[in-house]
């Protein structure tokens, strides 16, 4: 199997030093293994994605010395692939529509049961309010303007009908490290994922998918063998592994890397325009200077 990595930015702002680090890491790992490095544009959020940010991504990555095969996969053009998967999950009884607003969810969670977490790595843990109306679902999937959630319990029962969720074991190979240094073979149970993330959103309103669904479907479609990305996505990988099992898709190896942080130890975000690659370029910096900045673990940014 070809060693294949990818860099999957969202064109919702300028690439910053953290993106440069991640892209270069994926690029170098593929090169070292005589493999392939792909670029994928994650633009499902059409309300925030902008063509000018996408153009800037191509420009910045080329300036950094990276190259990738054409055509580039763009998630906004993948609606048909996501529809197929959503139809099949709907007919398996693994999805339900959710009409809760964020404020409804917060209100229910404001009276948490003792010992039950309300906030997980995917945000607020959905209390399952709309799940009870699941039996009233129409036979065909509602198409637009509706949020679809994964009935996690039903999904796990689908994966392994005879095994209780706390005995269902999932695993993936980590060749980098998670935020607490987790590495090698990472195992967890179905119950661990249910308790830490709850019924996740699988299709966001008017988007026809969610990050979790799209990333799993597209990593498989692009035959990615090694997913290289920041350690902030380590916990999300558990969701992805369960979805891969549910959809009969292969689980790639994962390589989570350290995050680039600013002087206050805060991870860089898109709004940190001052750390944008384009800004460094405008100031006359060379790519090799960017890379030597990134090599320094105690990144000291002005």
List interacting residues with ligand GLU (CB under 6 A): 8-10, 42, 215, 229, 233
Give me the residues paired with residue 85 across strands. none
Helix (H, G, I), strand (E, B) or coil at 4: strand
Nearer to ligand GLU, 182 or 232 (CB): 232
DSSP H helices in 126-228: 152-159, 190-197, 211-221
| DSSP letter for each residue of 75-125 | GGG-HHHHHHHHHHHHHTT-EEEE---HHHHHHHHTSPPTT--SEETTEE-
Nearer to ligand GLU, 168 or 251 (CB): 251
Nearest-approach distance from CB 254 to ligand GLU, in angstroms: 10
Nearer to ligand GLU, 52 or 145 (CB): 52
Nearest-approach distance from CB 52 to ligand GLU, in angstroms: 17
Nearer to ligand GLU, 233 or 294 (CB): 233
Nearest to 154 by CA among 118, 210, 194, 208: 194
Please name the residue that has the structure tokens 């994964």: 150
Nearer to ligand GLU, 229 or 238 (CB): 229
Nearest-approach distance from CB 277 to ligand GLU, in angstroms: 14
Burial of 58 (0-12, 13-18, 19+ CB in 10 A): middle
DSSP 300: -
Nearest-approach distance from CB 252 to ligand GLU, in angstroms: 11
- Number of other CB atoms surrounding residue 208 within 10 Å: 22
- CB environment 242-271: b (16+ within 10 A), e (fewer): bbbbbbebebbbbbbbebbbbeeeeebebe
What's the CA gap between 35 and 30, in Å, rounded?
5
Nearest-approach distance from CB 10 to ligand GLU, in angstroms: 4
Nearer to ligand GLU, 9 or 14 (CB): 9
Nearer to ligand GLU, 109 or 233 (CB): 233
DSSP 223: T
Nearest-approach distance from CB 42 to ligand GLU, in angstroms: 4
Nearest-approach distance from CB 40 to ligand GLU, in angstroms: 8
């Amino acid at each position: 199997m070809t060693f294949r990595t990818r860099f999957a930015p969202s064109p919702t702002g300028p690439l910053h030093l953290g993106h440069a680090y991640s892209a270069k890491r994926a690029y170098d790992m593929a090169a070292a293994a005589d493999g392939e490095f792909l670029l994928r544009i994650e633009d499902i959020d059409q309300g925030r994605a902008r063509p000018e940010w996408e153009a800037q991504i191509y420009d910045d990555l080329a300036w950094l010395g990276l190259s990738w095969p054409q055509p580039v996969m763009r998630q906004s053009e993948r609606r048909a692939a996501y529809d197929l998967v959503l139809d099949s999950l709907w007919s398996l009884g693994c999805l339900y529509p959710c009409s809760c607003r964020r404020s409804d969810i917060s209100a229910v969670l404001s009276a948490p049961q003792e010992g039950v977490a309300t906030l997980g790595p995917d945000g607020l843990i959905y209390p399952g309010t709309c799940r009870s109306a699941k039996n009233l679902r129409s036979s065909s999937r509602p198409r637009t303007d509706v949020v679809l959630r994964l009935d996690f319990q039903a999904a796990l029962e689908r994966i392994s009908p005879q095994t209780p969720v706390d005995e269902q074991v999932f695993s993936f190979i980590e060749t980098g490290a998670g935020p607490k240094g987790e590495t090698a073979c990472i195992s967890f149970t179905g119950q661990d994922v249910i308790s830490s993330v709850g019924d996740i959103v699988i299709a966001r309103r008017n988007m026809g998918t969610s990050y979790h669904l799209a990333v799993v479907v597209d990593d498989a479609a692009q035959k990615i063998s090694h997913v290289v990305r920041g350690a902030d996505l380590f916990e999300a990988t558990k969701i992805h592994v369960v979805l891969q099992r549910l959809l009969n898709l292969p689980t790639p190896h994962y390589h989570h890397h350290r995050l680039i942080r600013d002087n206050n130890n805060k991870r860089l975000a898109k709004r940190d325009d001052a750390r944008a690659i384009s800004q460094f370029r405008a100031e006359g910096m060379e790519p090799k200077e960017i890379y030597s900045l990134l090599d320094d673990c105690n990144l000291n940014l002005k």
